[in-house]
Structure 1
């Protein structure tokens, strides 16, 4: 029997700690220096309900230069981690701008106060409107 896979794509502004989060989780070691990511993949085995799953972690580049390339990692995503830095308020503003502008999300929630301030969520909703996401504060 083949092990089931869960695809998790990590998005957020550049230098908010996405790669550090994934390296720390997959190796139990904290990286000593910052290396900007273009795109990288990690995989770990996790147990869910007593069954093993492969958790595929897709690290993406947050810089605007990669806005057209980044969505290529989105198909078949099971869950997104939307990261922001707790010490960089602008990164949270970008989460809000890119995430909640979608029509589908507006229909589900009354986010009228937030909609003008959000950024990462609309990108996700545009490409994967039914895929859940978790908001993660890093650093």
Structure 2
């Protein structure tokens, strides 16, 4: 069981509203997006993932990030094997809330469950309109280095990035989620922050 958390959740952990998702055993991804349609809070998708030659069923639960669901959201947490704390790389406020809101919530309700830090909407990092909007607010996109640093500070299993629109990095996100579940908990953070995940699994 995999739960997505973050300011953008229920708009999907990828930062776009997701109306259909499928994946087969050879990782052929099929995504369909519509900004006009909403995903019901707590919506789940179950799909097959093959990692290391073995097949796993991964249930993805999309939680609601809005304050209205603060009391209901933790009801989705029991029996979760791994969490994805998601933020948009072009929404600095969502990045800040990872440390101020989402990590404390996980520490309270699921302190022993591994989690990944996921930067989403990387397709917009170099988008002229997005950069202009951020510049007007005297802000700029969250960098890979900032994501890496925060992942280390909060004890995330690893930091990964993706774009739902271009599909870049999506496979890596769910591969790493499975690996996080399979990795012995006492070695998880140190091993992944210090080696493969931070250095090799970033999609930029």
Calculate the TM-score normalised by the size of structure 1.
0.71
The match for 2:75 is: 72
Q: CA deviation at 1:21?
A: 7.8
Q: Distance in 1 between matches of 2:61 and 2:87?
A: 16
Runs of 4+ in 1 over 3 A off after TM superposition: 14-17, 19-27
Give the number of the structure whose residues are more often strand, by fraction.
1
> Cα gap change, 1:36/1:48 in structure 2, threshold over 3 Å: closer, same or farther?
closer
Higher helix fraction (1 or 2): 2
In structure 1, the gaps of 5 or more residues are 1-6, 98-118
The alignment covers a number of residue pairs equal to 112
- Alpha-carbon shift at residue 73 of structure 1 (Å): 0.6
Q: Which ranges in structure 2 are unaligned for 5 or more consecutive residues?
A: 23-28, 122-204
- Displacement of 1:29 in angstroms is 1.7
Q: Please name the residue that 2:110 is paired with.
A: 128
CA root-mean-square deviation:
2.2
Is residue 63 from structure 1 mapped to residue 66 from structure 2 by the alignment? Answer: yes
Q: Identify if the C-alpha distance between structure 1 residues 53 and 23 changes in structure 2 by more than 3 Å, giving closer, same or farther.
A: farther
Contact 1:10 1:81 in 2 (8 A): yes
State the 1:125 CA deviation: 1.2
